[in-house]
Amino acid sequence: MLILENVSVKRGSFTVAENFTLRLGRGKVYTVLGPNGTGKSSLLKTLFGEVAHRGSIRYNGEPLSKTNLQSWRKRIGYMPQDTFAEASLTALEVVLLGRMDGLGLHVGDELLNEAAAVMEMLGIAHLAHRDVMRLSGGQRQLVMFAQVMMRRPEILLLDEPVSALDMHHQINLLERVAAYTRGQNLTTVMVLHDLSLAAQFSDGLILIGGGKVHAEGAPKDVLQPDLIGALYQVDVELLYDRFGAPVIRPLRHRPSESGQTFTA
């Protein structure tokens, strides 16, 4: 279990977290939600050990500290928003970098087969020998997730993993994340902007803003219109899909409400 106790994080004068206490179980997907600029990405970086914190972060009883940072990160598959540098590598080579510790001058058949199987699972096997710099942003995102899977992590940290994907690939990737989390008994923490997607694919939601956890729990308990409307400063209505998952629909301002007028 990944446990945060009284965790506080500041970046300059900005408070990311003030006394956060969370218990994140294995085999579950948790999504951090909140308006732009609330520190969602900084919270993931804190869990990866990139940003200093006060309080306690522990995984299976072991605390995160400067002295064990290398061993801590070996457990984590971290996919930040911006992951690509200019490099002339094929998609397969990028995926294989997920097993950097096992690579040598010769890549064995077992490792190649594992990479091929991961790419096949994500529907990107046909990209194996393409230059990553010639792929679309969405294709590169899928390649990076394949690299993360190759690390065989115990914790997944995914920062907006579907931001560059169309609807089909969003659903495909998030279904893979959910199945992989359950199948490997991982703890997955991701950041999404789409509240309705988060409701479909998360066991728990963590709604943050102003350095506080405003709500934490099952999607149906967190996605309350009054709370969401106040935090995001927009009118919303709550609907439900055919599986009973909550759907948040933002409502446009009427011209009479916003004071705007339009002329042809």
- 3-class SS string, the chain: CEEEEEEEEEECCEEEEEEEEEEECCCEEEEEECCCCCCHHHHHHHHHCCCCCEEEEEECCEECCHHHHHHHHHCEEEECCCCCCCCCCEHHHHHHHHHHHHCCCCCCHHHHHHHHHHHHHCCCHHHCCCEHHHCCHHHHHHHHHHHHHHCCCCEEEEECCCCCCCHHHHHHHHHHHHHHHHHHCCEEEEECCCHHHHHHHCCEEEEEECCEEEEEECHHHHCCHHHHHHHHCCCEEEEECCCCCEEEEECCCCHHHHCCCCCC
| pLDDT greater than 60 at residue 135 | yes
pLDDT band at 165 (very low <50, low <70, confident <90, very high): confident
pLDDT surpasses 70 at 158: yes
For residue 256, what pLDDT is reported?
58
264 pLDDT higher than 50? no
Is the per-residue pLDDT at 38 higher than 70? yes
> In the predicted model, is pLDDT for residue 261 greater than 60?
no
